[in-house]
Structures are given as C-alpha cells and as structure tokens.
C-alpha cells in the first residue's frame, strides 16, 4: 500500500507529515509521484472509484501544552480487501511436544537479550525487561508464544515461574520442575493483523479516546496501543512503501516515548495519530486470517484477545 498520490494537491495544501522520510516524499517531482504504483500483498487494489478511492483524513491538530505538536494527516489508498480466510489450528496439542524435566541454560553463551516487556514486567535480567533473556510468567504457553514470536529465539524453557529464551540448545540439562521446547513447540500463532485490529478495537481503548483522560488508565491504554502497533509492524513487514513505513515507525516511537514519561497533555496527540494510521490500514487488517474458535481456547493468550486492556507495562 502506498501513500495516496499527492500530484493533485497544491503545494500549499500538501499534508502535514511528522517524519523526515514522509516529508521528503513531497519533494519528489509531481510526475514521479503520480506514476508510483500502489500495491499491498494479499490486497487487491483497484483504481476504479467503485473499488477504491484515495481519501484525505484530516482532524484538527491537538497541541500539547508548550509544544504545539501537530497531528498526522494521513492520505492513503483504500484497498478493496481480499476474501477473508479462517486460520486453522496447527497443533493438535501443544503439550504433546513439550519436553518435561529439561532446561536450556544460558551458560554465558546461549541467552538472547531483547525487549520482552510486552510479555512480562518482572523477573527480568537486572530488572530491565527491555533487554533481557528471561521474565516472570504463570504459564509455559506464554513462554512458548514469546519464543515463537521472537525471531532470534530457537528454544525456550519454563520453570520456577520464569521463562528463559535461548538461541541454541547447547545449554541443555535435565532438571526437575522445568519444561522446554523448540521454537515450533508453541500454541498455534494468531494472525498479527488480527491481533492488531483486536487490540485497537477494544471498547475500553476507544472509551479512553472519547473521554480523553477522565477515568482512563493512561499506562494500560498506551501499553495496549504498543501491543497493537507491534502487531501491525509484524503484519506489514516488507509490504509498505518507505513513506508509509516511516509513519508506522513514528507512531511506534511516539507511543514508546509516552510510556517512558506519562503525561496526560501528550495523550490525545499520540492516540489520534495512532488511530488515523490504524483507520487507514483497516481494509488490509480486516482481510487477513482470523483465528478459529479452537485457537482462541488455547493457553497463553494476551490480554487484548481476552477482551481486556494490557497491564501497565505488559500484555500477558
């Protein structure tokens, strides 16, 4: 999917984009902009007015106090979605592949240190869940899902209330009270596009937008947005043009920055930007596979799948 062609927009009316990459798109000669192709994997784009149309979504800028921050104005091509498919269960039983009484140790060589804060908020290496190879969780299925989702992970171990992610089976030992598996040993994955849409559409999250900050837990709401944005980035990886990808990266950075310093004055601008981008990607997200009922009964599901906001810093 590509940002809608800006050839019809006079320079004075060009959209306001907050990223350098997106802004540079305006500097491209009009002929080049107008000839750019718009395409997106698994989504059939039609130029005919009955199938797709470019639109320009504009909302009044909400300025944070003392900052005068502007809201993203996102022009996109609305794509006619491909037929919706249903995702089937991959594994008859997740527990069948789990290896009991086995643990994969770090041994100074096999750990991977990554941002695992969406999976856990305690029990991390040096209390930093944004750079850790372990975290506390209550279910081995959460650990298995984390390994499956993290590209660098090849094996996982669960025991004593903690999950450990590894990049090799080199540290394997037998140990009572532990269970382990390889990357493939996990509950069936849920479509990243479906997860993004599910989290962003939670009534509790939309209520926070409509009522501003009154009665809204800012940390939980923004952590849920962080979960949704992480899912949409996985779903669209390698499928967006540079300008659109820059906008997605920008809302991710803005959401992370808000969580580092919670301030209600900045809540509305960040959330409006997030919603604009998700609304623009709605056609693609809705066209992707949805889970089966069996998938949604598997263990280790994140809070948004269960209809809840994430916690203040993690979603499992």
Are 239 and 1 spatial neighbours (Cβ–Cβ below 8 Å)? yes
CB neighbours of 274 closer than 8 A, spacing ≥ 6?
200, 225, 228, 229, 251, 255
Residue 93 confidence (pLDDT): 76
pLDDT tens, position by position, 77-88: 444 344 444 443
Q: Indicate yes or no: pTM above 0.85.
A: no
Measured in Å, how far apart are the chain's first and last C-alpha atoms? 31
d(CA 66, CA 265): 10
Which of the residues in the chain have pLDDT under 70? 1-92, 211-213
List the chain domain ranges.
Answer: 11-85+190-306, 94-182
Residue 68 confidence (pLDDT): 52
Residue 186 confidence (pLDDT): 96
Buried b / exposed e along 142-174 (16+ C-beta atoms within 10 A): bbbbbbbbbeebbbbbbbeebbbbbbeeebbee
d(CA 122, CA 65): 34
Fold of 94-182: Hepatocyte Growth Factor (3.50.4)
Residue 299 confidence (pLDDT): 93
């Amino acid at each position: 999917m590509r940002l809608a062609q800006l050839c019809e927009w006079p320079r004075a009316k060009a959209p306001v984009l907050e990223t350098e990459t997106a802004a540079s798109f305006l500097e491209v000669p009009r002929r080049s902009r107008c000839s750019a192709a718009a395409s997106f994997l698994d989504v059939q784009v039609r130029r005919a007015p009955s199938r797709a149309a470019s639109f320009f979504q504009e909302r009044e800028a909400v300025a944070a106090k003392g900052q005068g921050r502007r809201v993203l104005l996102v022009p996109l091509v609305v794509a006619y979605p491909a037929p919706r498919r249903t995702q089937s269960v991959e594994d008859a039983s997740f527990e069948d592949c789990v290896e009991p009484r086995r643990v994969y140790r770090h041994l100074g060589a096999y750990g991977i240190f990554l941002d695992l804060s969406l999976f856990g908020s305690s029990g991390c290496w040096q209390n930093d869940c944004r750079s850790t190879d372990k975290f506390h969780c209550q279910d081995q299925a959460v650990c298995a899902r984390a390994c499956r989702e993290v590209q660098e992970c090849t094996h996982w171990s669960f025991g004593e209330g903690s999950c450990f992610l590894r990049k090799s089976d080199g540290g394997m030992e037998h140990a009572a009270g532990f269970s382990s598996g390889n990357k493939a040993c996990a509950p069936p994955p849920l479509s990243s596009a479906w997860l993004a849409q599910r989290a962003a559409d939670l009534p509790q999250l939309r209520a926070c937008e409509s009522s501003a900050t009154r009665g809204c837990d800012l940390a939980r709401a923004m952590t849920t947005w962080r979960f949704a944005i992480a899912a949409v980035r996985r779903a669209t990886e390698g499928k967006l043009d540079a300008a659109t990808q820059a906008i997605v990266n920008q809302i991710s950075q803005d959401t992370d920055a808000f969580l580092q310093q919670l301030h209600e004055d900045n809540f509305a601008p960040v959330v409006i930007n997030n919603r604009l981008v998700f609304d623009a990607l709605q056609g693609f997200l809705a066209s992707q596979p949805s889970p089966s009922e069996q998938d949604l009964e598997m263990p280790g599901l994140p809070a948004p799948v269960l209809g809840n906001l994430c916690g203040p810093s993690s979603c499992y």
